[in-house]
A and B are shown apart, each in its own frame.
Chain A
Amino acid sequence: MRKTYLFSFCFLFFLQVAAAQQSKLLSVNFQQATIGQVVNDIESKSGYHFYYDQTSFDSLKVTLQVNDKPLETILDMVFKNTDFHYAITPQQQVFLTKGRQIKTELAPGFLTTTTANVSKPVSTVADYTDERDKKVAEATTENKVYEIGIKTNSIPPGNATLSGYVRDIKSGEAVVGASIYVVNTKTGVATDNFGYFTLSLPRGRHILNVRGIGMRDTRRQIVLYTNGKLNIEMQEQVNSLKEVKISADKVANVRSVELGVTRLDIKNIKQIPTAFGEADVLKVVLTLPGVTSVGEATTGFNVRGGAADENLILLDGATIYNPAHFFGFFAAFNPDIVKDIELYKSSIPEKFGGRLSSVLEITNREGNKKIFTGSAGIGLLTSRLNVEGPIVKDRTSFIFGARTTYSDWLLHLLPQAYKNSSASFNDANLDISHQINDKNNIYLSSYISNDKFRLNSDTTYAYSNKSIILKWKHNFSTKLFSLISGGYDHYNYSISSTANPVNGYDLSSNIGQANFKTDFTYYASSKHTVNFGLSSILYTNNAGSFEPDGVKSLVVPQVIATEQALESALYLGDKYDINTNLSISGGVRLNIFNYLGPQIVNTYAPNLPKEPDNVLDSTAYPSGKIIKTYISPDIRLSARYLLNDDLSIKAGYNTLHQFLHLLTNSTSISPTDVYKLSDPNIKPEYGDQVSLGIFKNAAANTIEMSIEGYYKRMRNYLDYRSGAVLILNEHIEQAVIVDEGKAYGVEFLIKKTAGKLNGWFSYTYSRTLLRQNDPNAGELINGGAWYPSNWDKPNAFNFTGNYKFTHRYSISLDIAYSTGRPITLPIAQYEYAGSERVFYSDRNQYRIPDYFRSDFSINIDGNHKVHQKTHNSWTVGVYNITGRQNAYSTFFTEQGGVISGYKLSIFATPIPFINYNIRF
């Protein structure tokens, strides 16, 4: 076992001169030698002459002892795991370079290569194995054949595993979701969040086609002898900045086992016109089938009939409770930092849980590992700065981004009622990634967002998200790797008012969660990929504290007792490729939820409404005592059957539990929402979903089509009693009623991913219905009949498209239509308390007018010369071209003794915008 470390912190140094062997076999012994010492030593023992730039090699210290090896082997060892390269000419000249390799006629490694294009500066590809001395990276080329594993004269039958990273050659960043498609076997994989892939293949020669979002397609030729590694570097596609690529994996639509999974790259997101020209990662989610908006100018969204709180929003693994800024006008994610987003609405992997409807995974970029870069921007409402770069070149990098606002001027344009308002928000990200060695990587991500605003009153609202997470990725072998993470997420809000000195108050609440999670992936064989792991979340929920504000305040402090709970889960899943056509993915997740003391819990008389009059007993539990445990297993199943190369049928079934509930009497996520953990009186929400889809690719995988249908049941869904008070309510169970729900729908999607015209359109027919027919609940809603939920929008249509006239000119068009959401309408009027008043219909029996909006923009790029001082581009557009006054809400209110109906519209006129970007 020869293990050679080039980096050591020992300061011993000696150089032993060994006699050179006759031909070109050399013996060396270096201890912490500098490049100069190494070169002098080798030059003295051989006829070689070295050419190199001393300053590039000042970080290199060489510790190596070798006997009777050719120069190539020695240099391979010397430069192992570094960014340094060498090239040897027949004239016994040795060129040492950093970052790039000089091509010579004689390729090192005694490999057969075709003539490489010398004029093209190209990336290097490392080619190493675990089992033996690696061969150092070669000049990249698509025509070169890489040998993986221990070379043997004859290739034995059977499979071997190929794994490695796909990285951006320029920044060293991982390319997530890149697809690696093996032509011979018609199999493919996509890289994970770290750019890592593992592929089990028959031994022998293969061609790998590699595609990544915004990257130039490339391919690799390999000969697979034994298990081994191949790192692939990709080049950015410079000439097509505006290309819409929906998914990196063009074959994934048909071939992946999952249903209802969509990945979008930040480039797609930036292409969609938004109200003020600020790219918004959440707005684009709303264009996907099965996703509807809670309301215009909000980022709350509903997935397949679920409430806004049933979406798990993860930013690099950290849970974000309030993903919006500024009353919901903006997503709280910095578009300069975000790399891509992935939405799971049906096949939710077993490693996720705790929410009923969807998982939205937002991934930030890794910092540039090669050079420092940055950008600064001044926008209509926000200013931003981001800086990134290596801390240790090629190993450690950071990325920092921050945004802040000066939006008060906009508020002053709002109607009179908001004239004296103010708002401010900011957010910041700092992510550090470090490669310890080939097998270990650590990632630190941190995030903070703050919002503070005052509507036209003396009441100030403020809220803040904070998250920090540390992840350690360890590769045990090419078949088994693990990701262990720990972190803490926190969300708090407060409302304060000092308008009346006696009633001056400060109302605040917060929720924190400490997370620990391990995920293991084991590539058992070419047919089995096993995932397993465990996770644990300790929640600390302070649902409200009401404190006096000001010396004259008579407010009695009231604090809702802190709730604690531990949500743990164990999961195991297997993706099983039964044959080339049939794959299944199955998993189980065992959720264990412990509601913990200290707490005082009411016991209610059975079969009576949970009302103060029906409290039988009130029990105080000590700290740490497990008050109630819910053990709830979940099942995740999906299967894909390939009918032919570009047509597949998929089916899925999953069950989910949710233990954390957002209580809001409003239809949107407002900052005054109250969180509640499941307890003995509030059972976990449960949902299960069966889905079926047909997936078809056409025109060389440039057109993707799908039809997906689903049926979903929900139990223990929380709705509110009429006039329920949710804030500072110590007994939330008395304010809520438990509904059952059902949702079903069919989603059509057509995407065109290449060509002059690209984009997608989607149509969804769906229904979401709720029912409260428990006579013991104290209040029957609509007499116990099914009623549409607040976000039941049967017809939804979206079109997002981009047409490229030339590489410099393109136009984008967005069209969105949906049925108006249900409302409770007044049906009669009467006089009461000196005024005419209205009597409301049954809950949600009517609908607001349909929603329609179209946005248009023209994108003009400057010239595309790569090396110039400034790059500039224009975006000219109009948001809501038709100026349709979509109803954000409708309401009936009394003014001067007369009842009038009103419709509140936001963004009710065409909003033109011009965006000029210049980079230099």
Chain B
Amino acid sequence: MRFYFRYILYFAFAATVVSCKKPYNPPAIALAGSYLVVEGVINSGSDSTFIKLSKTVKLSNATVTNPVVGAVVSVQGDQNSAYPLTEAAKGYYVSPGLNLNSSHTYRLSIKTSNEKYYSDYVPVLNSPPIDSLSFKIIDTGLTVYSATHDPSNTIKYYRWDFQETWIIHPIFSSEFISNGDTVLLRTEKQNVYTCWRTDTSSIIVLGSSAKLAKGVIFDNPVTSLGHSSAKVANEYSIQVRQYALTPEAYTFWTNLKKNTEQLGSIFDAQPSQINGNIHSANDPSEPVIGYISVGSTASQRLFITAKQLPSWPPPYPNEDYPHGDCMSTIALYTYYPKGSTIPVNQVNEYINYNKGATNPLIPYLPIENPGGPLLGFEAVAPICADCTLQKGATNKQPAYWKF
């Protein structure tokens, strides 16, 4: 009997081996046309109905916003009722509470400058209330969950969107402000160290109880926050809004989510066409993006403070304040250069915008000898001390803020 033993040694620089994800920008893609995009829900309750009309733009466009203005928009019932919407802002069409009859079906009618569009007639689906919002600590941060149930067991499909508000602090706390001519102490109203920043959801959150025996949605994840996120560094609030969906609407949203959020892993399917329920009156083959649902919504708010969370590492740098931008501070004085009798006023030069400062900095710390006179200020770039400069941030406390 003979046996062969084989030993195989390998050296593989495996750390860089297996898979990598790189940006991919295919050659300019000629665009066949610009298609109508309809977004919104016909609110059957007492809340307002918002419909947003826009058109698609080329991928190479820097701005995506392309509102459709001057359209004639109305909600039409299957029994010839009609409720016109008015254009409240560019591309935003609004109607106050419609209080629609739940036993009827409704559609959206849109008349742009050169074409008419109609959605399919859609039944009214009112959302049950949200039972609870909760959060759980996970390895990477926290996840917010929502729960609901439909006692009548008729609603199986849900969508959620949300609005988050959180307190932000810049790296530097400034107690001084320039009125253009001179530097003064900040008042309470001029506070720029504490802001409430608000953002709306950019992900599609869907849930289904179709495979369960009861119409129960238990702890469906709504959003996850990393522990380095500035959102959870101080105080955080999230308002979750819940929509009930028909199976067709659920399919549309699932498809939209798949196409734009869920691709990229090894096992994913290739994208497919998205078919909404809005059609051109004259050319059925013209793509129209969007799905119109009719129904009331439910909402609930959750508050989380840093005290409820583990002591995660300090939040800087973070997406609100990338560290690099605020590395350098500058000390500004008024002084006499050697051999000169004309003073150089750096405070005017860099801070007081009426006296020469072109890109004014924000003074945050006085420079003075102990008990002596004020010599100058430490100053930083505005973004590093003024929280109101962040997108969606205000230094006025929202009415609902309960902390």
Q: Which residues of A contact B (CB under 8 A)?
A: 276-277, 327, 371-380, 389, 410, 413-415, 417, 455, 500, 502-503, 546, 554-556, 558, 665-668, 670, 672, 720, 722-723, 728, 783, 790, 823-841, 843, 846, 885, 887-894, 896-897, 899-909, 911-920
Q: Which residues of B contact A (CB under 8 A)?
A: 1-26, 29-32, 34-35, 37, 39, 54-59, 61, 64-66, 161, 200-204, 211-214, 216, 218-219, 251, 254-256, 258-275, 285, 287, 289-290, 319
Interface CB pairs A-B, < 8 A, 8 = A379-B8, A380-B12, A722-B273, A824-B271, A827-B32, A838-B259, A890-B24, A909-B17
CB closest chain-B residue, reference A667: B270
CB closest chain-B residue, reference A381: B10
CB closest chain-A residue, reference B207: A503
Distance A99 CA – B4 CA, assembled complex (angstroms):
23
Separation in Å of the B363 CB from the closest CB of chain A?
32
- Whether A908 lies near B6 (C-beta < 8 A) is no
Contacts of B267 in A (CB 8 A): 666, 668, 670, 672
Contacts of B64 in A (CB 8 A): 829-831, 836
Contacts of A667 in B (CB 8 A): 270
CB closest chain-B residue, reference A384: B6
A interface SS class: strand
Q: Give which listed residue, A373, A828, A903, contacts B35 with CB less than 8 A.
A: A828
CB closest chain-A residue, reference B257: A833
Distance A915 CA – B6 CA, assembled complex (angstroms):
11
- Whether A830 lies near B272 (C-beta < 8 A) is no
Contact of A828 with B56 at beta-carbon distance under 8 Å, contacts A667-B270, A833-B161, A891-B263 already known: yes
CB closest chain-A residue, reference B263: A891
Separation in Å of the A389 CB from the closest CB of chain B?
7
Q: Give which listed residue, A415, A720, A840, A891, contacts B19 with CB less than 8 A.
A: A415
CB closest chain-B residue, reference A904: B21
Q: Give which listed residue, A415, A555, A823, contacts B21 with CB less than 8 A.
A: A415
- Whether A920 lies near B5 (C-beta < 8 A) is yes
- Whether B3 lies near A327 (C-beta < 8 A) is no
Distance A666 CA – B204 CA, assembled complex (angstroms):
22
Contacts of B214 in A (CB 8 A): 554
CB closest chain-B residue, reference A883: B16
Contacts of A838 in B (CB 8 A): 59, 259-260
Separation in Å of the B378 CB from the closest CB of chain A?
33
Distance A919 CA – B272 CA, assembled complex (angstroms):
53
Distance A377 CA – B29 CA, assembled complex (angstroms):
52
Contact of A900 with B23 at beta-carbon distance under 8 Å, contacts A376-B6, A828-B31, A888-B266 already known: yes
- Whether B289 lies near A839 (C-beta < 8 A) is yes
- Whether B9 lies near A916 (C-beta < 8 A) is yes
CB closest chain-A residue, reference B216: A554
- Whether B24 lies near A828 (C-beta < 8 A) is no
Contact of A912 with B11 at beta-carbon distance under 8 Å, contacts A723-B251, A885-B22, A904-B19 already known: yes
CB closest chain-B residue, reference A780: B285
Contact of A909 with B10 at beta-carbon distance under 8 Å, contacts A554-B213, A832-B39 already known: no
Distance A20 CA – B211 CA, assembled complex (angstroms):
92
Distance A885 CA – B22 CA, assembled complex (angstroms):
9
Most chain B CB neighbours (cut-off 10 Å) among A277, A723, A903: A723
- Whether A914 lies near B10 (C-beta < 8 A) is yes
- Whether A832 lies near B65 (C-beta < 8 A) is no
Distance A824 CA – B269 CA, assembled complex (angstroms):
11
- Whether A911 lies near B13 (C-beta < 8 A) is yes
Q: Give which listed residue, B12, B201, B274, contacts A911 with CB less than 8 A.
A: B12
- Whether B268 lies near A666 (C-beta < 8 A) is yes
Separation in Å of the A295 CB from the closest CB of chain B?
9
Separation in Å of the B122 CB from the closest CB of chain A?
16
Separation in Å of the A446 CB from the closest CB of chain B?
23
Q: Give which listed residue, B12, B26, B290, contacts A912 with CB less than 8 A.
A: B12
Q: Give which listed residue, B11, B66, B202, B262, contacts A835 with CB less than 8 A.
A: B202
Contacts of A908 in B (CB 8 A): 16, 19-20
Known: A830-B289, A919-B5. 4 other contacts (CB 8 A): A378-B8, A837-B260, A890-B24, A916-B9
CB closest chain-B residue, reference A914: B11
Contact of A893 with B22 at beta-carbon distance under 8 Å, contacts A831-B64, A914-B10 already known: no
Distance A841 CA – B5 CA, assembled complex (angstroms):
56
Contacts of A277 in B (CB 8 A): 8, 10
- Whether A546 lies near B266 (C-beta < 8 A) is no
Contacts of B265 in A (CB 8 A): 417, 455
- Whether B261 lies near A414 (C-beta < 8 A) is no
Contacts of B21 in A (CB 8 A): 415, 902-905
Contact of A371 with B1 at beta-carbon distance under 8 Å, contacts A556-B212, A914-B9 already known: yes
- Whether A897 lies near B54 (C-beta < 8 A) is no
Most chain B CB neighbours (cut-off 10 Å) among A829, A846, A890: A829
